[in-house]
Amino acid sequence: MSFEIKILNSIEEINKNQWNDLCGYHYPFLRYEFLAALEHSDCTSADTGWQVAHLTVYRKAELVCIMPMYQKTNSMGEYVFDWDWAEAYSRHNLAYYPKLLTAIPFSPCYGPRISSKLPLAEILPFITKQIAAICEEYGFSSWHGLFHPEAESVQLQQQGLLIREGCQYHWKNKDYSSFEHFLASFTSRKRKNIKRERRIVSEQQVSIEAVEGADISLQLLQEFYYCYQLTYLKRGRKGYLNIEFFQLLLESLASHIVLFVASHQGKTVACAWCFKNTDPQNSTLYGRYWGSLDNFDNLHFETCYYQGLEYCIKHQIQRFDPGAQGEHKIQRGFEPITTYSSHYIKHPQFSEAIEDFLQRETKAMQGYKQQLTELLPFKKTTES
């Protein structure tokens, strides 16, 4: 049975319920409301290098598959870095940009990237063929899919795409009844270090509360956003996201949002914006956006990690994804996990070269992950 493809230049070209019924209502980053907020606030646009080009597939006029996609003219906000690839193209007087990208803008959290009513094995051959045809016809150098689930990655590899492995650090809830119960799984030295870090925050007279999305006032939103932008400006640039984006999220996705607010002497001094996956079978807290006004010792660890862990334990959330990078998370109980991205490279010689690079990189990444696992703070034998 034949399929037809349609590329959307705006998410508004499709009905919200039609999108969400296929992509689901639990995983926040694929919800219509999240992607629409990015688009309507101009965070995803041609000017930011994120021109909407969502791929939809129909069978006999029935929508059977959605894959978010963007035309990219840079690699900013992706968190799977291919700048070396772009530089190699440039050295050979070839254009790496524009390229096509399937990813959640500015959010390096793994999850479904292809939502289908049909088995992926049935529809992926058509999609990958269409991707190659679009790249050829419109002059895109490549297509990239970022932070796939492992099963999705395996099936994309079966279609001849190149697979790249990365590493993040996630926490797994092993039926902990309290934060103290969680710490009891640590070695004595590591446990004492966590308690010391938390005590230092308390001694600085900083208090932290979790504010659910529906309770976030306009004033608190403005305080968060000031912290968020100030932290980016300290690094020499503005944050990717504007306040209109966050306002739209509070209007449309409040039930998915938790804001951890740190206060000192009645003043908001730091915030950590998180999202929740509400699927009971895959409940997850995602730490996304952080900012602070002042340098309080250990406040980042407390606001972005320990408060999230306590929230997960209290609400029986299964997993905590605190954000990309950061080996320092290991000693705090976040375990290294493998992430996957997939790549179609149109240029045959570059495809071969990148495939060779990925084989070597994957071997090194697997060894690196094993070394990190050995650094986890958990007891290896029962402590007396």
Say how far apart CA 124 and CA 249 lie, in whole Å: 32
Per-residue pLDDT of 212-252, as tens digits, reads: 999 999 999 999 999 999 999 988 889 999 999 999 999 99
Give the per-residue pLDDT at 1.
60
Rg (CA), the chain: 22
The pLDDT of residue 383 is above 60: no
Cβ contact 323:260 at 8 Å: no
For 110-142, give the secondary structure using H, E and C: CCCCCEECCCHHHHHHHHHHHHHHHHHHHCCCE
C-alpha distances out from residue 96 to 141, 209, 300, 346, 347, Å: 5, 46, 37, 10, 10
Q: Is the pTM of this model over 0.85?
A: yes
163 DSSP β-pair partners: 342
The pLDDT of residue 324 is above 90: no
Give the per-residue pLDDT at 8.
98
Per-residue pLDDT of 88-114, as tens digits, reads: 999 999 999 999 999 999 999 999 999
The reply to whether 4-169+337-373 and 174-317 are identical in fold is yes
Give the per-residue pLDDT at 381.
62
User: What dotted CATH number matches 4-169+337-373?
Assistant: 3.40.630.30
274 DSSP β-pair partners: 258, 287
Q: What 8-state DSSP symbol labels residue 353?
A: H
Give the per-residue pLDDT at 64.
98
Give the per-residue pLDDT at 382.
47
Say how far apart CA 338 and CA 365 lie, in whole Å: 9
Structure tokens at 220: 């608190």
Fold (topology level) of 174-317: Aminopeptidase (3.40.630)
Structure tokens at 286: 């995602």
Which whole number is the average pLDDT over 150-167? 97
Q: Residue 323 — pLDDT band, cuts 50, 70, 90?
A: confident
Say how far apart CA 283 and CA 107 lie, in whole Å: 18
Q: Residue 368 — pLDDT band, cuts 50, 70, 90?
A: very high
Lowest mean pLDDT segment, chosen from 140-144, 156-160, 279-283: 279-283
Cβ contact 80:147 at 8 Å: yes
Contacts for 36 with CB less than 8 Å, ≥ 6 apart: 11, 12, 16, 248, 252
Amino acid in the structure at residue 349: Q
> Helices (DSSP H) in the chain: which residue ranges?
16-23, 32-40, 83-91, 120-138, 150-158, 179-183, 188-203, 218-234, 243-252, 299-301, 307-315, 348-373
Structure tokens at 192: 């004492």
The pLDDT of residue 173 is above 90: yes
What does DSSP say about strands 4-8 and 115-116: parallel, antiparallel, or unpaired?
A: unpaired
What is the residue extent of each domain of the chain?
4-169+337-373, 174-317
The pLDDT of residue 186 is above 90: yes
Q: Residue 359 — pLDDT band, cuts 50, 70, 90?
A: very high
Q: Residue 384 — pLDDT band, cuts 50, 70, 90?
A: very low
Amino acid in the structure at residue 295: N
Share of the chain above pLDDT 70, in %: 99
